[in-house]
Structure formats: structure tokens, C-alpha cells
Amino acid sequence: MEGGGASAHASRTAEEVFRDLRGRRAGMIKALTTDVEKFYKLCDPEKENLCLYGYPNETWEVTLPAEEVPPEIPEPALGINFARDGMNEKDWLALVAVHSDSWLLSVAFYFGARFGFDKETRKRLFSMINNLPTIFEVVTGVAKKQAKDKTPNSSSKSNKPSSKVQSRAEVRLKSKMSAPKDEEGSGDDDAEEEEDEHDNTLCGTCGTNDGKDEFWICCDNCEKWYHGKCVKITPARAEHIKQYKCPDCTNNKRTRV
């Protein structure tokens, strides 16, 4: 499968396709970690559409997409170099990593289709792939964190946030759920008012206050609250954001410029 020539092989096993993917994955991880300076320089935005390729021999290459149509195997994300200077370097590398993960899956299951894998063989292939950390997880450091802290979702004490953004979101959740209702005394009215205030807080995108137990994030500029899913921010991504600006504040800034 060197170079992707599926047609040259009558049949291959799921284990052989997995070894192909693992080699390509290793090469792409090198590009985005140990060889990152070289990779960054090669992704010149002034050049034409560039792609990051990983090869079964654990090497990588930044080059133009294949000229043949249709290509011999699925092509990786096109034009990764154009976004380089318009993003924070870590965010850009994370974006390339996500697209690289998608490409590896598409190549593996392309081979699966070409080699006639049945349902059980495809399931075995995916299981082997799923046991590997994704390139995104390796590049962003999530893989190391997951290895150190494997805890169930119900263990609230061990899920302490490690960033300002996630801390504020967790406070948001706590304040929605923990206001006392049945205690007697002068604090009753204040607690009920605070609870009502949080219950009336609406998401700045969808305009609802559904999902009290879901992840919320607060804009550091306008101080509006948003469902993480509405602004496409996950708890894992929030850990890497020092100061969050909602889409409205971001767009307003661009308009002024």
C-alpha cells in the first residue's frame, strides 16, 4: 500500500490496513510536533494550495495535491498553508491535526471498501484505530492528560477545570443548580433571587436557558453566556483559550478594522 495503490493488491487484511494507517499517522505527528519548525516554514501562504501527506514508512511531505482525477486514494485537506498567518500557531496546528485525523480515516476505509471488507472486518479495523490517540489529541496534549486522569464523568471533584474560561463555566453550572430552596432564614429570599436570575440567563446564540447541566462559556468582552455547543467550543478546547470572545464581539472587531 506504499503510495496508496490499492488496485495493485488482490486482498489485504484489516491488520495490514491498520499498519498502513499507523505509519501515515506517525509521519504526520512528526510534522506537527518534532519537525514543527520545518513544517511551519514549508506551509508558506504565498504558495499554491498545499496538503500534508503522511506515508506508510512514517515520513511526511507538504506538497501540491495529486494531479490525476480521480486521485488514487482520498486527498488530505487542501490549502492548509492559507490559514497559517491568520491564526494562533497552536490553533492552526490543532486545525491541521483534525483534518489529518479525518484523512487517515478516509484512507483506511477507502482501502476497506477496495479490499471488500465485510461488517465484522470494518468493525475490527475501526476498533484498532480507535485504540490510538488521535493526532489532534497528541498535538494538543489531550492524550497525555487523558492518560494521567482517567475518571468517570460523575466524579465532580476530579474534574476540576484548568483554565479561566472553564472555571467560569463550571461556576455557571454550580450557580444554576445549587441555590437552596427549603432553608429558613433571611438568606432565603436572596438565594431564590439568585436562582431566578441564573434560571433566566439565556444563551446569547439560541436564546434559551436549556441544558443547565451542559457546558456553558462566558464572553470576556460582553459577558454574555453561551452554550458551548452553540458556539462550537468544547471543554477541552476551552482549556487552551486565555480570553474568550463570542462570535458577535469577534465580528464587530473585524467590521471596525
Q: For the segment 87-108, what is each residue's pLDDT rounded down to a tens digit?
A: 999 999 999 999 999 999 999 9
Q: Which three cell numbers stand for residue 91?
A: 490553533
For residue 169, what pLDDT is reported? 43
Sign of the torsion angle spanned by Cα atoms 70, 29, 128, 91: negative
- Per the CB < 8 A criterion, the answer to whether 50 and 81 are in contact is yes
Residue-level pLDDT at 135: 96
Residue type, 226: Y
Helix (H, G, I), strand (E, B) or coil at 144: helix
- The radius of gyration computed from the CA coordinates of the chain, to the nearest angstrom, equals 23
pLDDT of the residue at 160: 41
Do 209 and 173 meet the contact criterion of CB atoms below 8 Å apart?
no
CA-nearest of 154, 197, 192 to 172 is 197
- 8 Å CB contact between 68 and 4: no
Q: Is the pLDDT of residue 192 over 80?
A: no
Q: Where are the beta strands (DSSP E) in the chain?
A: 51-54, 60-63, 216-218, 225-227
CA dist 125 → 8, 21, 135, 235 (Å): 21, 10, 17, 29
Contact by Cβ (8 Å): 238, 211: no
Which tens digits make up the pLDDT trace of 201-232? 788 888 787 766 788 888 988 888 888 888 88
pLDDT tens per residue across span 112-135: 999 999 999 999 999 999 999 999
Q: 3-state class of 52 per DSSP?
A: strand
- The pLDDT, as a whole number, for residue 191 is 52
Give the separation between CA 150 and CA 118, rounded to whole angstroms.
33
CB-based contact 234:228 (threshold 8 Å): yes
169: number of Cβ within 10 Å: 24
N- to C-terminal Cα distance for the chain?
Answer: 50
For 242, the enclosing helix (H) or strand (E) is: none
Range of lowest pLDDT (63-67, 83-87, 134-138, 187-191): 187-191
In angstroms, the CA 121 to CA 123 distance is 5
Answer yes or no: is pLDDT of 166 > 50: no
